Amino acid sequence: MKVFKKAIIPVLIMILLFLSACSPAPSPISEKYDSETALKNGDGADSGPAGYAHQQEFYTNQIVNGETKITPELMLFFQDYFSKNGNELRLLPEFTFGQAPAWDDLTHYIIFNAGEDFVDGSISEENFDRQVTRFFWPVIDTQKDGTELIYEDGKYTIRYGSDAHGWAIYELTGLKNKGKTERGPDKWEATIRGYFFHELDSDPAEEGYSKNGKAVWTEMKNEENKGLTFWQVQDSLILKNPSLILELGCEWKIEFAVNDPEGELYFTYMSCSKSPKNKQAASQHAPSDIYLY
């Protein structure tokens, strides 16, 4: 009897293994990602540490593989980056590769993009230089005072208060990889269209103050947009050829490098041109003795 038990146990084990191998394994549900629906639902898919939508896909497809095809996910990444850094592209001055922006344009830009470093209206020279390097790489300057800043005792102080009202949404229409820079990162060229909004456009009492604001409120009344917020409908237009619905404000062509793409991602700019000229932008000044390293 003991021999029989010893003989049957291996047989039972073999039968159980056979049945286990034949059992169908559960397969994951294949579901196509709908970028437009996700955007309306506020889904920042594949966000990096800084929270930019599709940052991981941007790293894999563009930084690692050098792809330049415009996809919905890539468009949403650029829209999210420039929306969360609201003055970064909107106020970027025009300048050519190898030259820094004119001094007054550069200082105006730093005022509106380095707010966390200003204390009681002043920024230390060290923090000022760090912010300039962050946006434009190192700059040699021979001109300290400017239209909007006074330099004294190792710090820059704002001459008068100002504000940048409203906002924009950004439509990526072209992307090129232009090879390695001397500093290491690739140089990219992007063409981006901006559609401007007034600061009161999201107010339900107004239902749009500007032409673009009114267009979004009109879109909100469509059946497919019922229950969505002003911001959700506005952002969803990025994937719907927005020029058919919104008034184009500006088109930028920028050259830039991408820093820390897997972490606190940010852009550094090497040139900028725009068309038509933004009437609200600060006037361009004659170039001073400022050069990039």
pTM of the model: 0.80
d(CA 56, CA 196): 28
Does 196 have pLDDT greater than 70? yes
- The per-residue DSSP string of 9-21 comes to HHHHHHHHHHHHH
Does 283 have pLDDT greater than 60? no
Contact 171, 235 (CB under 8 A): no
Average pLDDT of the chain to the nearest whole number: 82
d(CA 27, CA 146): 65
Q: How far is CA 62 from CA 33, 67, 73, 190, 269, in A?
A: 19, 5, 12, 12, 17
Backbone angles phi, psi at 264, to 5 degrees: -85, 70
pLDDT at 69: 98
pLDDT at 204: 92
| pLDDT band of 282, cuts 50, 70, 90 | very low
| pLDDT band of 250, cuts 50, 70, 90 | very high
pLDDT at 208: 85
Closest CA to 230 of 195, 197, 277: 197
Does 230 have pLDDT greater than 50? yes
Closest CA to 171 of 185, 147, 190: 190
Does 53 have pLDDT greater than 60? yes
Place of tokens 């004119």: 102
% residues pLDDT > 70 (the chain): 76
pLDDT in tens, 265-274: 999 999 999 9
pLDDT in tens, 110-138: 999 998 899 999 999 999 999 999 999 88
d(CA 141, CA 161): 24
pLDDT at 24: 36
pLDDT at 144: 81
- The per-residue DSSP string of 102-162 comes to PHHHHHHHHHHH-GGG-BTTEEEHHHHHHHHHHHH--EE-S----SSEEEETTEEEESS--
pLDDT in tens, 150-172: 999 899 999 987 778 899 999 99
pLDDT at 109: 96
